[in-house]
């Protein structure tokens, strides 16, 4: 039987390690989250961020400007947060309404308050392997692999997906851990062959159950970053989730076929319950680290 890599165990360990660091600070770390619009997934994610902050002892603020806010008005809001000394980390939840220039907003966040690790300066620090906030989901994946003693150095890692949020930063982090990294995408030739070379296969392409048994090398470690909601009963049954569908009326699946991965992988992350819990934990870690750097600068 393959080893199931549960994210909650690693999340709890990360959060527990932050508590004494928070207690050592003269004031609580401060996190500001900006949420615009009514995207259900974003609302759930932000609610969980606020909840985790409260449990950990991090001061959090949720700002909900109207969906009609202009790019210029949102820039002013971010600038105000940049200048507030009690706010250590700023997160603008994406996706933003289509009329807003997302790139301008993300670049307006001060690099030393960039809780998501998306500012170009911090991306540059990642490339140079210098200390800076790291993108939360990829950083959480690295922590997961280390917790379960999955070999990274010398491994052949294949990342399927080249997003700025997961694929690209994760590829760089794996490279810094001495993996040999291949990044695949929609224009990759012979994707199946590339994936089957992987000791470590990371799926972050956003297509439910796309990677079947033919893409997985026997014994490979499979990290499934995707999460999609399936609302078709026949599709849920094909994925081996008919009973769950009957109870809920939907099922959540990743980018890897949930049956095939159990038959072929040596270890894998379940969906849900694998990578998901780690993203917020690493957001908290970034916020605490930013608070520590601000405290040191003020001393």
> Which listed residue (28, 93, 143, 199) is catalytic?
93
Residues 139 and 165: their CA atoms lie apart, in Å, by 11
Q: Is 49 a catalytic residue?
A: yes
Cα–Cα distance, 275 to 145 (Å, whole number)? 11
Q: How many CB atoms lie within 10 A of CB 183?
A: 19
Q: Of 88, 116, 224, 255, which one is the catalytic site residue?
A: 116
- What's phi and psi for 185, nearest 5 deg? -155, -170
Active-site residue 19, yes or no? no
What's the Cα-to-Cα distance from 15 to each of 18, 81, 123, 150, 165, rounded to whole Å? 5, 25, 24, 21, 22
Q: What is the three-state SS of 86-131?
A: CCCEEEECCCCCCCCCHHHHHHHCCHHHECCCCCHHHHHHHHHCCC
- In the set 49, 113, 168, 241, the catalytic residue is 49
How many beta carbons lie within 10 A of that of residue 144, not counting itself? 23
In a 3-state reduction of DSSP, which class is residue 56? helix
93 is catalytic: yes
Q: What share of the chain is helix, strand, coil (3-state, %, to 5)?
A: 45, 15, 40
Active site residues: 49, 93, 116
């Amino acid at each position: 039987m393959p080893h199931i890599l549960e994210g909650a165990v690693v999340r709890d360990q990360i959060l527990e390690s932050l508590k004494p660091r928070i207690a050592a600070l003269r004031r609580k770390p401060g996190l500001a989250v900006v949420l615009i619009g009514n995207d259900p997934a974003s609302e759930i994610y932000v609610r969980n961020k606020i909840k985790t902050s409260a449990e950990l002892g991090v001061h959090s603020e949720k700002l909900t400007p109207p969906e009609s806010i202009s790019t210029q008005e949102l820039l002013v809001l971010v600038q105000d947060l940049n200048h507030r000394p009690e706010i250590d980390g700023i997160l603008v939840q994406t996706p933003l309404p289509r009329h807003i220039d997302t790139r301008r907003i993300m670049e307006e966040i001060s690099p030393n308050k960039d809780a998501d690790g998306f500012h170009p300066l911090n991306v540059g620090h990642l490339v140079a392997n210098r200390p800076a906030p790291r993108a939360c989901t990829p950083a959480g994946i690295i922590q997961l692999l280390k917790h379960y003693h999955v070999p990274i150095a010398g491994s052949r890692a294949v990342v399927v997906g080249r997003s700025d949020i997961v694929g690209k930063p994760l590829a760089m982090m794996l490279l810094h851990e001495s993996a040999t990294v291949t990044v695949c995408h929609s224009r990759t030739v012979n994707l199946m062959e590339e994936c089957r070379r992987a000791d470590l296969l990371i799926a972050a392409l956003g297509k439910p159950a796309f990677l079947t048994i033919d893409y997985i090398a026997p014994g490979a470690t499979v990290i499934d970053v995707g999460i999609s909601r399936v609302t078709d009963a026949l599709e849920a049954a094909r994925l081996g989730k008919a009973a769950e569908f009957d109870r809920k009326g939907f099922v959540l699946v990743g980018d890897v076929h949930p049956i095939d991965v159990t038959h072929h992988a040596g270890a894998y992350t379940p969906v849900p319950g694998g990578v998901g819990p780690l993203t917020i934990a690493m957001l908290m870690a970034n916020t605490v680290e930013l608070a520590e750097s601000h405290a040191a600068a003020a001393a």
